[in-house]
Amino acid sequence: MDESNELLKLMVDATNHGWRDKSGLLSKQTVEKRILLVLNAKFGSEWTYKEYTSRLKWFKQQYDNYSQLMRHSSGFGWDPIRKKFTASEEVWEDYFKRFLQQQEKEIEWTLMENLVLLKLMLVISSSLGKD
């Protein structure tokens, strides 16, 4: 998860540095030279552009899951200090009961330490050419 969080931060930094192209996307060259190079050096890993796009899809899915939680379910809040969702036990039980009924596979819920960064990442997610 540390690598994913770092990747997300590097993507936001790239956007803040204005490294997106005219259409607002991060090019493959930018990703490989300015994001993956730093990520691989920091963690001693060997991320490829293909793995980057896969992780980008995962980020988007996580964001969509959390957005659905916040938009379509009453009783939820966000604690910016603890960086986690808040709700009464009853609300959580009801939500997971409904959510798990809709899923074909078990989903592991993790708390994202950088929800604000994840929201910013959506701008970058368009680099896959999908909304």
Nearest to 29 by CA among 17, 43, 19: 19
Nearest to 35 by CA among 121, 130, 129: 121
Q: Give pLDDT, residue 36.
A: 97
pLDDT band at 101 (very low <50, low <70, confident <90, very high): low
Does pLDDT of 89 surpass 60?
yes
Helix (H) or strand (E) holding 51: helix 49-72
- Convert the pLDDT of each residue in 7-17 to its tens digit: 999 999 999 99
Name the phi and psi angles at 44, rounded to 5: 65, 30
pLDDT band at 79 (very low <50, low <70, confident <90, very high): confident
What's the predicted TM-score (pTM) here?
0.58
Q: Give pLDDT, residue 49.
A: 97
Helix (H) or strand (E) holding 110: none
Residue 118 · residue 63 · CB < 8 Å: yes
